[in-house]
């Protein structure tokens, strides 16, 4: 395990982190530097909603999962944080189940890299507000709001890492395909 870097919380391995905002039509992707200090937007990935079964009966690897897995490899990511949308009350709904399913499929592909679920309440609302305050017209938000939400998800997780000295969120179980 590599030693911690200058800004790295003690005990956590060095390596980039990724933040993922799973939406119905698009997935926002953000990344950090190897020391996990600052989150920046990476791209918006089109969402694949139809998940066919693979030859072994497990869900097939869809283009959206494959693209994020490629980014994990390219950046030598240490962890991927996936936003978990909950209602303001904390209750889980259909979007929560969808994010959990996506995270499980991603975890199966990127293992042994950890995939963790982190609370993302209000991130899209905050992202829209930040884009407006930056002078961006509302009509142009669609192409970048998912990335902005992913940045908020990731930066929040990085802040938890620094303050608590441990990974944020809930670890997604890495099941072998077909399990």
DSSP state of 103: H
Q: Is the pTM of this model over 0.85?
A: no
Summarize pLDDT for 98-121 with one digit per residue, the tens.
999 999 999 999 999 999 999 986
- The SS3 call for residue 96 is helix
Q: What is the 3-state secondary structure (H, E, C) of 129-164?
A: HHHHHCCCCHHHCCCCHHHHHHHHHHHHHHHHHHHH
Q: What are the CA-CA distances from residue 1 to residues 4, 11, 13, 71 (Å)?
A: 9, 10, 6, 21
Q: What pLDDT score was predicted for residue 118?
A: 95
Which residue is listed with tokens 């930040």? 130
What are phi and psi for residue 21, nearest 5 degrees? -110, 105
Looking at per-residue pLDDT, the higher value among 96 and 115 belongs to 115
Q: What pLDDT score was predicted for residue 2?
A: 42
**At 59, is the pLDDT very low, low, confident or very high (cuts 50, 70, 90)?**
confident
* CB contact set of 25 (below 8 Å; sequence gap of 6+): 46, 47
Summarize pLDDT for 134-163 with one digit per residue, the tens.
666 665 556 677 888 899 999 999 999 999
Q: What structural domains and CATH numbers belong to the chain?
A: 17-171 (3.30.420.140)
């Amino acid at each position: 395990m590599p030693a911690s870097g200058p800004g790295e919380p003690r005990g956590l391995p060095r390596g980039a982190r990724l933040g993922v905002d799973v939406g119905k039509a698009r997935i926002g992707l953000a990344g950090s530097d190897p020391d996990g200090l600052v989150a920046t937007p990476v791209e918006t990935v089109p969402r694949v909603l139809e998940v066919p079964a693979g030859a072994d009966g497990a869900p097939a690897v869809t283009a959206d999962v494959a693209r994020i897995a490629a980014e994990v490899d390219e950046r030598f990511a240490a962890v991927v944080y996936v936003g978990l949308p909950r209602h303001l009350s904390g209750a889980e709904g259909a979007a929560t189940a969808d994010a959990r399913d996506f995270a499980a499929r991603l975890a199966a592909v990127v293992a042994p890299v950890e995939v963790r679920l982190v609370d993302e309440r209000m991130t899209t609302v905050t992202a829209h507000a930040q884009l407006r305050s930056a002078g961006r017209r509302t009509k142009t938000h669609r192409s970048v709001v998912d990335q902005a939400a992913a940045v908020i998800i990731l930066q929040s997780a990085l802040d938890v890492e620094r303050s608590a000295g441990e990974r944020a969120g809930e670890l997604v179980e890495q099941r072998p395909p077909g399990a």
